[in-house]
Structure 1
């Protein structure tokens, strides 16, 4: 099962970074290149414990639908989301937030299992793990940009 770990230092309050990370609207902004849109469940604003969202997005030239649910939630330190339905066999994305001298350290752990058994493992090694890492890095870069610039005020209230 591939695992992706990303650490992002952000010069902003932990509460702001936490809320941006669970913002449906910011997620849409960070994935504009995939035409991602929330089509069911929580489709805008902040998602919380036991809430779910269904996304429709274009990956590898094909529109896909994925539903994930917030399964754990400890404001403003940690939350996790897990796939309920979608192209993966499974995934779990943990979001951790720690105070630092200059702001917040955001740590992502993304564990997933590809479908199609052996063929899925080949896809992971050739392109899928890199593709997923790039998507998460783009998302984190967008969170960082909004948190550090004050643009976060367009999406969340302090």
Structure 2
């Protein structure tokens, strides 16, 4: 079983509360997802985030192909972190941790995603050619969009790494 991991860090000159209020609102996921992904929330985003929350959406990872994605918010520590896990969707495993911490001049957001791709050897071939590139594109878009919304914390280096684990 081949597992992969994405780690990303980004800092903003805003308060921890402002970061939490934005990042923990499921409706804002559409704001920070590229339009070409066809991201559309179907249900579950009508309340503030809570442990056990189920969110259903449709995503179009490739032209001409859409899939339903269902995630569950499995852990929430108000103002500090939350975890979403795929219950149904394009990955065999998707475990996404979101951390927010105060740093000098603002906050740092860190994402850690552990994931597994279906289809055995075909999935392993697709990982560097398609999946890794698409995740990089999504997180680069997210970085740009969040910088537009909140500004970039000067002196902080953003970070994005995808690797096998």
TM-score, scaled relative to structure 1: 0.85
Structure having the higher helix fraction is 1
Query: Is contact 1:27-1:139 (8 Å) kept?
Result: no
User: What is the alpha-carbon distance in structure 2 between the residues aligned to residue 138 and residue 14 of structure 1?
Assistant: 22
CA RMSD for the aligned pairs?
Answer: 1.8
Q: How do residues 7-156 of structure 1 correspond to structure 2 at under 5 angstroms?
A: 7-31=9-33, 32-40=35-43, 42-44=44-46, 46-61=48-63, 62-148=65-151
Change (3 A) 1:132 1:120: same
Count of aligned positions? 148
Change (3 A) 1:143 1:19: farther
Provide Cα deviations, 1:90-120, integer angstroms capped at 9, x if missing partner.
1001001111111001111011100001111
Query: Is contact 2:12-2:147 (8 Å) kept?
Result: yes
Counterpart of 1:154 in structure 2 is none
User: What is the alpha-carbon distance in structure 1 between the residues aligned to residue 83 and residue 23 of structure 2?
Assistant: 11
Unaligned runs of 5+ in 2: 153-165
Unaligned runs of 5+ in 1: 150-158
